[in-house]
Amino acid sequence: MRPDSRAVHAGREPRAREPLAPPIVQAAVHVFDDLDDYTAVASGRSPGHVYGRNSNENTSMLANAVAELEGAEAGVACASGMAAILAATLALAPRPAPLVVTSEAYGVTLAMLRSDLAPLGYEVREVDLNDPDALAGALPGAALVHAETITNPLCRLTDLEAVCRLAAGHGVPVVVDNTFASPVLCRPLELGASLVVHSATKYLGGHSDLVAGVIAGGAEPVRLARDRVVRMGGSLGPFEAWLALRGLRTLHLRMRRHSDNALALAHRLAGLPEVTAVHYPLLEGSASEPLARRLLPDGAGGMLAFDLAGGREAVQAMLSGFRMVSRRARCASPRVWRTLTTSSRTSHDRSAVVGEPVHRGPARRGGPLRGGARLRRAGALAQPGRPRRRPADRQGGPEHPGP
């Protein structure tokens, strides 16, 4: 079956007279005929579900669907992307051990490793995963490597094939956060990863109306992860799972459009003098382009970052002018306000100092435009006279820098 068709059908095979749309099984407990019946289901010998924290029809459908799209043997749905990352980490590193990660990883992932696991005795080894010497130096004795296919927020790519090959040489499993690529654009298990994790809050769900996570991979590491999810209470609720599965049905269409839109916007932004750097993996001439063409041949998704000259005031002025772009933290929008809305303790605040070299795009046809007009042409600013949106809500607090 083609991947597009798989996204439409994965995780469920409705039988005759069943509803085409899956019912929402909003239940904490299930009933049984007798002790034998219960034991058969609880032990996994018969299909079914016992208790909502252990499993549920809707969460199983979602987990199976993502596993199918990722080419995995098994999957487990979690209460959030962070719950998935924690469970995957503890599955492969059940006791304190060195963990290898890039310091450009998603800020809350780093915060969790540094603030929650390091005090328990885990050693967090932060290296550039694309630097083979640095990675080789960090691997001995490590329990796992945590990589992101596309980093949040700077859209740096990880050479997953090289990282997995080097890690395998040291017997170290690799967990890949594939949130920003999705299985439509990249399938890390095919490149040697042991587990894939997702914040399904983003592309898999696709509608900014749920928080969820998924782990997919080999049957044994997923079993270990599932045990953690169940014991630690990180299970997903049925309604979120139902929403996420519905979102998944259009994933392939959305990823294609996200990729086209982001590349077009990257081109436009790269031509603006106010924009000092554009971070988008597939931007022609950027340092990441050769790797992007190999890793993400079908597109690089909708995430895009850029640096604006003029500091905070310039960013504020741009945000105030947005008409169509929502100033909220979600992945379907260019996240230009990131440095304003996130904690300085996370990787997010580094967007001005790390990342790829400045890329100036091709000269704009038709001569230069004036400041506001240039940003309007790029689709970023409101047209004069159009109503402005009310000020953005505060995103999260100091303890939670948001997505």
Q: What amino acid positions are annotated as catalytic residues?
A: 53, 106, 177, 202
CA distance 262 to 150: 14
CB neighbours (10 Å) of residue 92? 23
Query: Which listed residue (52, 188, 271, 403) binds ligand PLP by CB under 6 A?
Result: 403
Nearer to ligand PLP, 239 or 368 (CB): 239
Strands, sheet with 174-177, edge to edge from the N-terminal-most edge strand: 74-78, 213-217, 195-199, 174-177, 144-148, 98-101, 123-126
Of 158, 167, 145, the C-alpha closest to 99 is 145
Nearer to ligand PLP, 280 or 375 (CB): 280
**By rule CB under 6 A, what string of x and - marks binding of each residue 122-151 to ligand PLP?**
--------------------------x---
Nearer to ligand PLP, 329 or 382 (CB): 329
Minimum distance from residue 241 beta carbon to ligand PLP (Å): 13
Please state the φ and ψ torsions of residue 78, each to the nearest 5 degrees: -130, 165
Query: Which listed residue (55, 194, 199, 333) binds ligand PLP by CB under 6 A?
Result: 199
CA distance 313 to 332: 24
DSSP β-ladder status, 74-78 and 213-217: antiparallel
Count of residues that interact with ligand PLP, criterion CB under 6 A: 15
Contacts of 371 (CB under 8 A, 6+ apart): 274
CA distance 85 to 213: 8
Residues 103-122 that bind ligand PLP (CB under 6 A): 106, 108
Measured between alpha carbons, how far is residue 316 from residues 93, 127, 340, 391 in Å? 43, 33, 9, 11
**By rule CB under 6 A, what string of x and - marks binding of each residue 66-105 to ligand PLP?**
--------------xxx-----------------------
Query: Which listed residue (68, 70, 177, 356) binds ligand PLP by CB under 6 A?
Result: 177
Minimum distance from residue 183 beta carbon to ligand PLP (Å): 14
CA distance 99 to 139: 9
Query: Which listed residue (55, 60, 179, 346) binds ligand PLP by CB under 6 A?
Result: 179
Instruction: Note every long-range contact of 314-320, with CB atoms under 8 Å and residues 24 or more positions apart, other chains counting.
Output: 314/274, 315/339, 315/340, 316/340, 318/375, 318/380, 318/381, 319/392, 320/388
User: What sign does the CA torsion over 259, 260, 261, 265 have?
Assistant: positive
**By rule CB under 6 A, what string of x and - marks binding of each residue 13-52 to ligand PLP?**
----------------------------------------
When CB distances to ligand PLP are compared, the closest residue is 81
Nearer to ligand PLP, 22 or 213 (CB): 213
The answer to whether residue 201 forms part of the interface with ligand PLP (CB under 6 A) is yes
Nearer to ligand PLP, 213 or 217 (CB): 213
Nearer to ligand PLP, 89 or 152 (CB): 152
Q: Which residues pair with 277 in a beta bridge?
A: 307
Contact status, residue 235 vs residue 54, Cβ threshold 8 Å: yes
Nearer to ligand PLP, 210 or 292 (CB): 210
Nearer to ligand PLP, 147 or 291 (CB): 147
Q: Under DSSP, is residue 27 helix (H, G, I), strand (E, B) or coil?
A: coil
Minimum distance from residue 160 beta carbon to ligand PLP (Å): 14
**By rule CB under 6 A, what string of x and - marks binding of each residue 204-223 to ligand PLP?**
-------x-x----------
CA distance 107 to 115: 12
The answer to whether residue 158 forms part of the interface with ligand PLP (CB under 6 A) is no
Please state the φ and ψ torsions of residue 235, each to the nearest 5 degrees: -75, 155
The answer to whether residue 159 forms part of the interface with ligand PLP (CB under 6 A) is no
How long a stretch of residues is the chain? 403
Of 205, 190, 200, the C-alpha closest to 250 is 205
Q: Residue 386: CA atoms inside 13 Å, Cβ hemisphere, count?
A: 12
Piece in contact with ligand PLP (CB under 6 A), picked from 177-185, 217-225, 318-326, 337-345: 177-185
Minimum distance from residue 56 beta carbon to ligand PLP (Å): 18
Piece in contact with ligand PLP (CB under 6 A), picked from 172-180, 255-263, 319-327, 363-371: 172-180
Interface residue list for ligand PLP (CB under 6 A) = 80-82, 106, 108, 148, 152, 177, 179-180, 199, 201, 211, 213, 403
